[in-house]
Structure 1
Amino acid sequence: MQKIKFDTLDTLISLERELLDPAVRESPQRLAQLLDEDFYEISANGLMFNKSHVLARLPREKVPQFYNQDFQGQMLAENLAQITYHAAYRRNAYSNLNYSVRMSIWRHRASGWQLLFHQGTPCPEFKLKYE
């Protein structure tokens, strides 16, 4: 595995955060651009979703409040990058935070980076750096 370049990691962090933006989550067109045709996700409860599932579900979901931090990355191949980070989210202002470790694999194509795989695994509570 190769070390990830700072500008590549910075780009992928921006794309991860874009996927949390309410305007993006409500836009099937933008989501379709960001998700690879072979995209799949394993949810915290072990369910698997492909691109068509996400495009049908995500625009209708209420956008939870997200925090993310401690991003790390590595290159898996010349056109594949893996990033991991800690995330905390709540569904509304009155609910408790849920904590997870997140991992994404991004594939670079001629059109740019697209999310190929994502998984969130519940983890113990951690201190938020920014809230």
Structure 2
Amino acid sequence: MEPDRVTDERLHGVLAELMRREPLFHRPEFGTSRADFEAMTAPDFWETGASGQRYSRAYVLDVLEERSQEPPVEEWETSEFHCRELAADLYLLTYTLVLNGWRTRRSTIWQQASDGWRIVYHQGTPVLDA
């Protein structure tokens, strides 16, 4: 039933770079200010939350700016990373995140730009244990 999620060998360098950046917005070494988050997201970035609600870039930036005022204490673990090239300089990264005991499957579309990596789209889907 599970799909074959083997990253093509030629993408191992990209996979390693993107793994260092996830979970996105939870890695202080890549920035904690609104300006940092603006720089790491494409102008037309948006995301779909665990609820299924769609969020605009402006909304996400507002939430991140508010969260940065009093950063939450978080325990997280990532696993099952897979990278797939969608087009030239455009990659889909999927992985599993356990954040404070809550497990989700994550998908992020990353674009490699001349000035670094940018997030185009992100989605988190809760894993419901049967």
Q: Which residue of 2 aligns with 1:83?
A: 93
CA RMSD of aligned residues (A): 2.1
Q: Does 1:57 align with 2:67?
A: no
TM-superposed CA distance for 1:39, in Å, is 0.7
Match of 2:110 among 92, 106, 111: 106
Q: Is the 8 A contact 1:25 1:58 kept in 2?
A: no
In the alignment, residue 68 of structure 1 is paired with which amino acid? T
Q: Which moved more, 1:55-64 or 1:21-30?
A: 21-30
Q: Is the 8 A contact 1:25 1:59 kept in 2?
A: no
Q: Does 1:8 align with 2:8?
A: no
Q: Does 1:122 align with 2:126?
A: yes
Q: Is the 8 A contact 1:36 1:116 kept in 2?
A: yes
TM-superposed CA distance for 1:40, in Å, is 0.6
CA 124–25 in structure 1, closer or farther in 2 if over 3 Å, else same: farther
In the alignment, residue 46 of structure 1 is paired with which amino acid? G
Q: Is the 8 A contact 1:67 1:89 kept in 2?
A: yes
Q: Which residue of 1 aligns with 2:42?
A: 36
Report percent identity of matched pairs. Answer: 25
TM-superposed CA distance for 1:17, in Å, is 4.2
Q: Does 1:72 align with 2:78?
A: no
Aligned length: 118
Q: Distance in 1 between matches of 2:84 and 2:124?
A: 18
Q: Distance in 2 between matches of 1:101 and 1:22?
A: 21
Once the two structures are superposed, what CA deviation does each residue of 1:67-93 show, in whole Å capped at 9, x if it has no partner? 111111110011210010000112xxx
TM-superposed CA distance for 1:100, in Å, is 0.6
Unpaired segments of 5 or more residues in structure 1? 91-96, 126-131
TM-superposed CA distance for 1:22, in Å, is 4.6
TM-score by length of 1: 0.79
Q: Which residue of 1 aligns with 2:3?
A: none
Q: Is the 8 A contact 1:18 1:24 kept in 2?
A: no
Q: Is the 8 A contact 1:26 1:60 kept in 2?
A: no
